[in-house]
Structure 1
Amino acid sequence: MARLKNLRPRLAEAPGRLTVAAPASWRAGMTSTQRGYGYRWQQARERYLLDNPLCVFCARRGMTTAASVVDHKVAHQGDQALFWDQDNWQALCKPCHDSEKQRQEAAERSH
């Protein structure tokens, strides 16, 4: 078992090992307010959830769950026009946003 624990550090130090750096995120080093999630967003989010109170992912499965997150269907990546486009918004519960939606986005990035 001790040999296996030491394998990873040895691989990291192996000569000729290629590493690929992940591209920097568009939001690196920015606060949530700098990314657009300030007071104006909080007000818009509240209005949207009042008009769209149920999680759309849960509804597709025949479940009724209160939404607490306004999600961007297509990641805006700093594009303010896409950020504020309400046709790009959907109401999700936090568990769906943090699991199912994250899996979808990860799958899209890997293609």
Structure 2
Amino acid sequence: MTRLKTLGNRVSTQSSALPVTQPGSWRTDKATSGQRGYTYAWQKASKAFLRQHPLCAMCERRGRVTAATLVDHVEAHRGDMTLFWDRTNWQPLCTPCHSSEKQREEAGRL
């Protein structure tokens, strides 16, 4: 089998500059998840919340029964730790709802 020689290694010719944030993102820093508040304390609190609220809130509104897999902030906290830890601002969501509907809603497309 002959080796394809015409293309060569094109990886080095590609730009490696990636944007720091997505267009429209509120975060302009490169803070880690822990620096943004998602610490071990958050992991424990969110797991306890999911034990108390095991069903996805968005699916329930549509009459579906789906297990929630993560805790979402109803109103984006944007670094406000008071809003981050306000449990009345939390809602249980399944991954598909969080990854699609919630993201569209936050981007203003819903």
Give the unaligned 5+ runs of structure 2. 1-22
Alignment of 1:51-70 (within 5 A): 51-70=52-71
| 1:92 counterpart letter in structure 2 | L
Question: Is the helix fraction higher in 1 or 2?
Answer: 1
**What secondary structure does 2:108 align onto?**
helix
Pairs aligned (count): 87
Which residue of the partner structure matches residue 82 of structure 2? 81
Map residues 1-111 of structure 1 onto 2, 5 A cutoff. 25-26=26-27, 28-107=29-108
State the identity %. 54
TM-score, structure 2 length as denominator?
A: 0.74
- Could you list the runs of 5+ residues in structure 1 that have no partner in the other structure? 1-21
Counterpart residue type for residue 34 of structure 2? T
Q: Deviations over 1:53-76 (max 9, x none)?
A: 000000011100000010000000
Asked if the contact 1:27/1:78 (under 8 Å) is kept, the reply is no
Aligned Cα RMSD in Å?
1.6
Question: TM-score, normalising length from structure 1?
Answer: 0.74
Aligned mates of 2:66, 2:79 — CA distance in 1: 29
